[in-house]
Amino acid sequence: MIAPPRPIDDPARRRRVVLAVVLILLASAGLRLWQLDRPAEYMFDEVYYAKDAKTIVDGRVEPRPPLHWEAGDEVSWPHPEMGKLAIAAGIMVFGDRPFGWRLPAVVAGLAILACVYPLARRLGLSPAWALIALLFAAADPLGITQSRIATLDIFVAAWTIACVLFALRYVQDGRHAVWLLACGVAGGMALATKWSGALALLAALLIVATGWFATRRASAAAQLPTADAAETAEDGVLLVRHPDGSGGGPAHALLLIAALVGVPLAVYLLSYTQYFASGHSPGDWWELHRQMLQFNLNLDATHPYASRAWTWIIDYRPVWYYFESQEKYRGVIAIGNPFLWWLATVALVAAPLLALLRRSSSLLPAAALIAVLYLPWFATSRTSFLFYMTPVAPFLAILVAAALALFAGRPELPRGGWLTLAAAAVATALLWLPVGLLATWVFWGLPRHVSTALGWVGVAIGAFLALALVVTALSPPARRLRPQLALVVAGSIVGIAVAFVPIVLALPITPEYFSHITWFKNVFHITWFPSWI
C-alpha cells in the first residue's frame, strides 16, 4: 500500500504550492462561470433534471393515480433524488433560470479539482507532478462542460473523488473512524445521485482491502503476531490491534459494514425525504425502485450520440449538447482532452505490464481505481454515453501525470521545468490548427477523395509513429532528455485544451473556424474525426 505523502518541509515551497493550487482553481472558476447562462435555454438533459429540480422546489411530488409510485410531475424518476436536490438548491437561491440551474454544477466541478492535488499526492506523486495532474484535470474539456450543465454526472464525480480521498486518508492516516464514515457519506451521496455512484464505494472497498492486506504482509515480514492473533478485550468486545495500533476484529468489521453499507443506505433513504413527506408509502417507494431497475437494465433507446463503453477512453464519440448554426456558430460538446485521454489509454495498458516485467508499481494505484470505476461499464448493454466518464476523468489526469513522472525518471522537475511546460503549452495553444488540419486531412479529406480505407491506414501510420517515438524516447541515448520531453508532452496536453474552449463555452465562432473549404471539400478544424460530428 502507498505510504502517506511526506509533508513539504520548506514553508516557502509549501506556500508556493498552495498559491499555485488556488490560482488554478480561480482560473477554472472563471472558465466555468463565463457566460454560464448561455445558451439561455434547456440544454440536452437539462430538460429533465432542471425541470424536475423546479418540480422539487415547487413540492409537486405527491402521489397521483394511476401510478402512485411516481414522484408527481418528475420525469427523471429512474434516478435517485440527490443530484436533482443539488440543482434545486441553485434554483431556490438564484431562481428558475440557467444560472440557477447550472451553478451547483460549477461548485461540484471546482470541488473535484480541489481534490485532485491531495489525491494525487496520496497516490504517490510528488508535489510538482501532483500540480501537473491538477493542470491536466483543469484542462480537460469534459470537466469544464460537465461543470456548466445541470445534469447528474458532475455530482457523481464530485462525491466519487471525495469518497476515494477519504478512504485513502482512513488507510494512510491511522485508520481513524471519522474518515471511514466520511467515505461512507460521500459514497452514499454518489449512490443517491445515480446508481453508478456505487462504483465509488467499490473503489473505497478496494483501498481499504489493499491497506488491510498490506498491513498483514508487513506484519508477517516483520515476524510480528498477525492481526488474528493479536486480540484484546475491551468493554467486553473482542478487538484486533494491528501492528500500527488500529482496531480490528469483529468491531472493525462492524465499523466497515456500518460505514460502507449502512451509512450509504441511510443517505440514500434520506434523499427521498420529500417523497415520503408528500404522502408516498413504503410500497410506493418499493415499486418505484422496481421500475427503476427495469428501466436501467433494459434501456435500449436509439440515440445518435450513444456509444459503447470501450470507445469512451479513446474519445471516439463525443456528445454535442447544443449547436446553433446561423451567421455565427455556437456549440457545446462533451469531449475529453484527446492528448490526455489517449495517453491515459496507453498508460492504463502499460501499468500491469510494467508491474509484471519491471516490478514497477507506480502506475498501479491510479490504474486500479480507473479499472474499478470504468471497466464495469463494459458489461452493460443499455444506451450509454461518453459523459459517463466524468467520474473517471480526474483519475486519468493523475495516471498520465504518474506515467510522465515515471518516464522522466525523477520525482522533481528539472531546472527550468515549469518554463518548459509553459512554453510547450503556449506553443500548442497557438499552433494547434496545423494539428487539426493534418488530422482532418488524413481522416476526412483523403478518405472522401480516394478511399475510406485510407482513414484506417492513417490510424496505423499514426500508431506506428507513436510507438517509434516512445521506443526512441526510452532508448539509453535519450535518457538525459526524458525530463524535458515529459514536460513538453505535459505542456501540449494543457495547451491543446485551448482548441476546444469555444465549443465548450458556447462562444460564437465563424463557420471557417469550424470547417475550412479546400479542394478536398470540407476539412474540419475542431472535429478531427468523422465520429466527432
Structure confidence by residue, pLDDT tens digits, 220-229 = 766 555 444 4
Q: Where is average pLDDT lowest: 471-475, 477-481, 484-488?
A: 471-475
Summarised one tens digit per residue, pLDDT across range 279-300 is 999 999 999 999 999 888 877 7
Q: Is 377 within 8 Å of 92 (Cβ atoms)?
A: no
**Residue with the larger pLDDT of the pair 38 and 235:** 38
Residue 171's pLDDT band (boundaries 50, 70, 90)?
A: very high
β 515-518/329-334 pair status: unpaired
Asked if residue 39 has a cis previous peptide bond (ω within 30° of 0), the answer is yes
Q: Is 326 left (phi over 0), alpha (psi -120 to 50) or beta?
A: beta
**CB environment 337-367: b (16+ within 10 A), e (fewer):** bbbbbbbbbebbebbeebeeeeeeebbbbbb
Instruction: Please say if the pLDDT value at position 137 is more than 80.
Output: yes
Instruction: Please say if the pLDDT value at position 244 is more than 50.
Output: no
Q: Give the integer Cα–Cα distance in Å for 152 and 82.
A: 9
State the burial class of residue 509 (Cβ atoms within 10 Å of its Cβ: 0-12, 13-18, 19+).
middle
Instruction: Please say if the pLDDT value at position 394 is more than 60.
Output: yes
Beta strands, E only, 179-246:
231-234, 237-241
What residues contact residue 361 under an 8 Å CB cut-off, 6+ apart? 354, 355
Cα 247 to Cα 24, 195, 224, 288, 321: the distances in Å are 39, 31, 16, 40, 49
Q: Give the integer Cα–Cα distance in Å for 81 and 116.
A: 26
Residue 241 bridge partners (DSSP): 247
- Can you spell out the DSSP letters for 333-398? EE---HHHHHHHHHHHHHHHHHHHHS---TTHHHHHHHHHHHGGGGG--S---GGGGTTTHHHHHH
Q: For residue 201, what pLDDT is reported?
A: 97
Rg (CA), the chain: 25
* Nearest one of 501, 434, 522 to 530, comparing CA atoms: 522
Q: Give the integer Cα–Cα distance in Å for 196 and 183.
A: 16
Chain-centroid distance of CA 327 in Å reads: 35
Q: For residue 241, what pLDDT is reported?
A: 43
* Nearest one of 83, 504, 446, 516 to 322, comparing CA atoms: 504
How many other C-beta atoms can be found within 10 angstroms of the C-beta atom of residue 519?
7
Q: For residue 356, what pLDDT is reported?
A: 87
**Percent of the chain surpassing pLDDT 90:** 65
Q: Is 47 within 8 Å of 70 (Cβ atoms)?
A: no
Q: For residue 236, what pLDDT is reported?
A: 36
Cell of 310: 470501450
Q: For the residues 202-214, what does the mean pLDDT come to?
A: 91
Q: For residue 223, what pLDDT is reported?
A: 59
Residue 516's pLDDT band (boundaries 50, 70, 90)?
A: very low
Read off the pTM. Answer: 0.89
User: What is the SS3 assignment for 22?
Assistant: helix
Q: For residue 445, what pLDDT is reported?
A: 60
Q: For residue 467, what pLDDT is reported?
A: 66
